[in-house]
Each structure stands twice: as structure tokens, then as C-alpha cells.
Structure 1
């Protein structure tokens, strides 16, 4: 007979998510170094980082369709193997003639591992804590910004003592091996949908409902606002402040604290109220990041961090609580939609970033010549000045997204409040 141990499963899930977030934090910190060492353009860096974001939805959507059939344990063993291969291949990149393809493939493997973790762990947390889904999903997802804080600080401090990016990437092997060992030992429950006996036809009908489609589309915006900004912040603010990584760490630190106290916040404000407030704070934080400098960037980071804290877990919790028949597939489709949107947005913003830099260089200048210029030369200085203009401009373009979300979530808030009143009126009639 299976002996399900919810707390141990939760700890192992958090470690798996920690590896996912370390991959984001460390990659964000070393992206500039990889660009210099392997002579990669902004477009190529965008393609590599975007790979993690479309590898994620590829895995999370496939996982969503098969998790009920093969079980959550098999998916998590697959995640462990994908993480292990992706990390080792990244470390071995300098051994190859070209840096682009090994980084592309290794990032794809890590992205697929990250998606597989989400495909299994989100329904796992919802299954083992059925009466407290949104709060426990927030507690689980605090390890995403938590890992970004840890990853950013690892890069920052190891850079200070001249320890290379390969050792920085290798630190991810420790939690990877631990979570792989734990999941191999533990027994798993069946998913909540399987336990409840909800049919496949009911599940597919639920994901075709207008409410699900609305949340699915909104996830594009919440994911881009949070993940694109965090992943590119060191590059976007590179020549605005020397502390871009610390801005990222501060933002993620605010997310950790916010998700740790998610229970009272969600219960007091309701999930839709939380989403509306999140959109408002995100827009304000991005506006400040794109228009301010110096110490005010740290104030902007705190406000932006408050804004993005509850986006991802509350969106998943909303689906699980309000569209429960969608099961693991519903949660995973929403998560996959968010990551896919980030991959597409990152691809286009990489090219746009290069075009802004080129526009701010002397007429007729070659972008590649200025990018590879020797530090201290006039060309290098001109390139840095162009970057200092391009970064905030990208942030200001991204600001449009949370502004749209404010309108969308205000509508959702009043719709759900009206629906709740109607339900109460029906029950008391």
C-alpha cells in the first residue's frame, strides 16, 4: 500500500523548482559574459534565452496531457534527467567550436526540464493540499524568486572573486541531485482529477469555457511582465546602473517575502483583487525602472517586485479553484501559455534592442564592430551609451502590457464578485 507523505513531497517539489529558478537567475547573471566570450549578438542571446521559454511550454503542455496517464513520479524523473543533461552540456560549451548551438541545445533541455517540473508539481501541490490550493501554490512558487535571489547573488559574489561562469552553472547540480534522489524514493498520489473521477470530455469542455480562455490569454501578459523583465534586467540596465544584478535580486527577494505571507493576502483580497493590485504595482514599477536612475531604481525594484509577486501562482490557483474540472491539463496549459508568450516576446525584443542600439550609433556604423570594440575606446564608449538608451526604451515598451492587464483584471474582479453574489442569492432563495 502506498504511503503518501505530503510534506516530504512538498519539500522535494520546492527543491525541483529551486533548480528551475536557479537556471533563470544564473543565466540572467552570466548572459553578458556568454555574449562576450562566444561573440553573440543581442538577437542570438535572445534566441538562446527564448529557447528556455518555449522549451518550457513544450514540456508543460505535453506533460499536462500525459500526467494523468503516466503519473507524476515518472514526469519528475524525466525532469531530473533533463536538468542533469542540460546543466552538464552548458558547462561543456567551451569545448565546442561554436558557442551558439551548445548553449541553444542545453538551454532547450533545461527549459524542457523546467516545464516538466511545473507539469508535475503544480497538480501535485493542488492534490496533496486540496483545501488550501492557492496559498500552498504561492508557498511552492516562492522558491522561484527565491532561486533567482540565490542565483543572482551566486553570480555577483563569484564574479567578485573571479570564479568563472562554468562553476556558477555547476552549483545547480547540488539541488538537482538531491531532488532526483528524493523523488525516486517517495510514493505519489494520483492526480486530483483522476481521484475525483472527472471524465476527459468534462475536462476538455472546461478548457473551452470563456472564463478559461480569458485567463489563458491574460497569462500571456502576466508571464511577460514578470519573466521577460527579470531575465533581461541585467542587460537592460547594464549601462544605467552597475548593480543590475542586485536590482534583480531585490525584486526577487520581495517576491519571496510576498509569497511566504500569501495566505492572509489572498483570503483578505480574493484572487481577483490580488491580480488587479498586482497589475497596478507592476505598471508603476516598470514605469519607474524605465524613467529613473540611481538609488530610485531600487525603489522601483521593490514596487515592481510587489506587483509580480502573486501573478503566476494566483493565476494557477484561480484555474484550480474556479475551473477544477480542467485538472492538471488546465493548470499546465495556462503555465505553458505564459512561457510560450515570453519566448515569442523575447525573440522580437532581442532584435528590437539591437535596432535601437544601431539607431543610436554614428550613421553607417557597423553594430558588430562597435559590440566587439576594445574597452576604453571611443567605439566602446559609444556602444555603452547606445545600450544605456536602448534598455529603458525596451522597459517602456513592455509597460504597455501591465496597463492592459489593469483593465482586464478590473473586469474579472467585478465579474467574479457579481457571480459570487448571484450564487449566494440563489442559495438563500
Structure 2
């Protein structure tokens, strides 16, 4: 293909719009999760399964996409993402119970994964000399969209009383726009294909011990960021009124942080950024589970700073240090992150039910309290028990960034020792 026909900036804008739909699905669904539970009388385990479905639909799509993107092209993957987003949004709007919500969330999760599977290698391909910085700019639309989604959920849903179906329908606007743009634009081949790296070289790179370490650590960074964000309204209910605004604060900090990623990533190594991020995330989680009053907002800012660079720097680390792994390497790492969140969400949902049940009156029928009519004594007792259980879940999550601090400290030491050693892989200019 004639490279002069490629329009990098327009492709980048369309990619950001596609990621905006992905992030709106997180922000709006986080805001309506409790409403869905009340509307369809779902307990915390069922809500956990539904919420978790998006997180395993994502890795399913991103891994499949990673294997086929070099063959079928990034454009075809993004057309598939458009179809899946459209189907998932419409199914949520017309859902009548658990299974429609389950399937719609699966479709949205697969659409989100397909966007990542195509857009991450697309950004790297059109900006080969500024990978990590551009990945941060691209991924700022994830927290940015969550900010927009949570504000929509709060001001239109909580304050304005707009039905959750209309909130979901708002997502159709950017969905149609990005679908239209991608259909019109021409795409380059992936960086690996353009560089002439063979498929066998790509698969061998996946066995690199450094890749395996990042693959495993991605599980911890993703759970710390995404599980906390998806459940923040419920987890923080007893600490602050209108707890969904805490999500808007944390993701707002992420958006600003990624917008200024260039100087930060340039001055520090990705491994160093990840270590500092883990320390701040741990401190923020600890504070959110223990403080009250205005200090909650300080805790939210610290936590937001902590998770700001996790996702883009993990992908950027792979692209810059193990470039032979190509699009598949980045997509496997991203898939691992979302898969870990799906497993954690399902497991912790059942544990959440156990903690809540222990706070209800002795001998209470848990499911009777879950399905109690709004305004009843049972419904009030369930809401109080649910709110009181949030900090306990936050303290469980806290162990994850504590482990990451140790792991990234070791990674920083290793990368410093490795820095002056010769490399036999595709040379790339760091951000």
C-alpha cells in the first residue's frame, strides 16, 4: 500500500473515539450497576458475574485478535468491534433479566478487546519513534471516557432520574462516528510485518523471560486499576455521599497524567514509572479504606496518580523492550490483564456476599434482603450492610499493589543491569 495515503492523525483520532466507547461502557455501567441489581433483583455474586463478563470477553477478543491481526488487518478487526459494540449496547437497553445482561456485557467486552487488539498495534505502527508516549496519549481516553461516563451516570441518572436505558443509548453516538471513520480510512500493516520479523521470531519472543514476567505482573496492575474503578460506587458508599464521583476524580487524575506522559516517561524508565505507580496505588487504597471526610478525595487523587501509567506503560514496555513479539505480545499482555480482572471479580463477588450477610440481622434470609422492596426495612438493612462491607474489600485489594512494589523494584534493578548490554532485537527509539 502507498504509505502516503495513510493519514496517521485521522487514524489516531478515530482510535481515540473507539477507546472512548470502551471507557464509556466502564463509566456508565459502573454508575448503573447498582440500579441493574435492584431492577432485576440480582445479588452481589450475580452482579459480579455480569460485571466480570466484560473482563473475560475482553481477553477472549484481544488474544484472538492478536493472533489474526497481522493476517486480516487492523481495519477488519475494527469493523468487527463496531458490530459488537452496537449489539452489546442494544442488548443492554432491551434486557429483561440476567442472561440478556450477561450476553450484552460479553459482547461489549469482546468489542472492547477487539478495539485494543487493533488500536494498540495501530498506534505503534503510525508512531514508531514515540511509542510509549503515544500509547499514553491514546490511553488517556480510557480514564477520560470513564470521567464522562460517571458524570453522565451521576447527573442524568442519580440526580436527573433518567432511565439507565437512555444512559446506555448515549454510547451509540461515538460508536457510529468511529465506525464511519474507520470504514473510510486506509490502514498500514503492523510494525512487525513492516519490519520483516518472521512469525517464528514472534513466537520465540513470547518465551523471553522478561515477557513472561510482564505478562504475570499485568494481572496485578489491571486488577488494582480496573476492579477498583468498576466497583467504586459500591465500595465507597459508607465513606462518602455520591461515591460515584470518587471514580470521576480518580479517572480525571489519570486523564491529566497521561496527557503529560511525554516528559515523565522521557525522564524515567518505564520500570521506574511502574514502581512509583505501585507505591502510590497502595497508599491510595489504604487511605480510601481507612479515612473519612475530605481526606477521601485526597486518597482518590493519590490512587488515581498510582494507576495512571499502569496500562500504557506495561504495553509500552513490551513494545520497546521485546518488539519482536509484535501486536501479539501487546495483546497477550492486555488480555492477561482483563482475564485476571474477570477472575478476581467473580471470586470477590461471592466473598462480598459473605461479608454483607454477616452484617445482616442474625438468621436473615440473604436473598430476601437482596430482593426486598425499595423503602422497606430489609432493603435499608441490606444497603447499610453493603456499604459497611466496602472498606473490607478495599483492604483485600491493597495486598496486590504491595506485591507489585516488590516485583517492580526487582525489575528496576534488572533493567539497570541490562541497560548497557547489547540487544539482538529490532532497535526502537524510546519515548
When normalised by structure 2's length, the TM-score is 0.96
Write the distance in 2 (CA, Å) between the matches of 1:384 and 1:167: 25
* 2:89/2:168 contact within 8 Å kept: yes
The alignment status of 1:125 with 2:127, answered yes or no, reads no
Write the distance in 2 (CA, Å) between the matches of 1:282 and 1:178: 35
Matching of residues 220-369 of structure 1 within 5 Å: 220-369=219-368
SS in 2 for 1:29: helix
Q: Which residue of 2 aligns with 1:40?
A: 42
Q: Which residue of 2 aligns with 1:10?
A: 12
Deviation at 1:242, TM superposition (A): 1.8
Q: Which moved more, 1:291-300 or 1:203-212?
A: 291-300
Q: Which residue of 2 aligns with 1:139?
A: 137
Q: Which residue of 2 aligns with 1:380?
A: 379
Deviation at 1:422, TM superposition (A): 4.0
Write the distance in 1 (CA, Å) between the matches of 2:63 and 2:376: 49
Write the distance in 1 (CA, Å) between the matches of 2:237 and 2:388: 10
Where do 5+ consecutive residues of structure 2 fail to align?
424-431
Write the distance in 2 (CA, Å) between the matches of 1:164 and 1:295: 31
* 1:239/1:384 contact within 8 Å kept: no
Cα deviations by residue, 1:69-100 (Å, 9 ceiling, x for unpaired): 0000000000001001111111111xx3xx10
SS in 2 for 1:130: coil
Q: Which residue of 2 aligns with 1:427?
A: none
Write the distance in 1 (CA, Å) between the matches of 2:414 and 2:369: 53
Q: 1:58 aligns with which of 36, 57, 60?
A: 60
Number of matched residues? 420
Deviation at 1:292, TM superposition (A): 1.5
SS in 2 for 1:158: helix
Deviation at 1:56, TM superposition (A): 0.2
SS in 2 for 1:34: helix
Write the distance in 2 (CA, Å) between the matches of 1:280 and 1:394: 19
* 2:32/2:164 contact within 8 Å kept: yes
SS in 2 for 1:30: helix
Cα deviations by residue, 1:366-396 (Å, 9 ceiling, x for unpaired): 1122223344544333323321221110000
Q: 1:21 aligns with which of 20, 23, 27?
A: 23
Q: Which residue of 1 aligns with 2:174?
A: 175
Q: Which residue of 2 aligns with 1:83?
A: 85
Cα deviations by residue, 1:78-136 (Å, 9 ceiling, x for unpaired): 0001001111111111xx3xx10010000000000000000000000000000000000
Q: Which residue of 1 aligns with 2:147?
A: 149
Q: Which residue of 2 aligns with 1:403?
A: 402
Where do 5+ consecutive residues of structure 1 fail to align?
425-429
Write the distance in 2 (CA, Å) between the matches of 1:77 and 1:378: 50
Write the distance in 2 (CA, Å) between the matches of 1:291 and 1:375: 29
* 1:221/1:338 contact within 8 Å kept: yes
Write the distance in 1 (CA, Å) between the matches of 2:130 and 2:326: 16
* 2:42/2:371 contact within 8 Å kept: no
User: What is the aligned-residue RMSD (CA, Å)?
Assistant: 1.2
The alignment status of 1:392 with 2:391, answered yes or no, reads yes
Write the distance in 1 (CA, Å) between the matches of 2:129 and 2:375: 60
Write the distance in 2 (CA, Å) between the matches of 1:374 and 1:72: 49
CA shift in 2, pair 1:49/1:241, >3 Å: same
Write the distance in 2 (CA, Å) between the matches of 1:285 and 1:267: 25
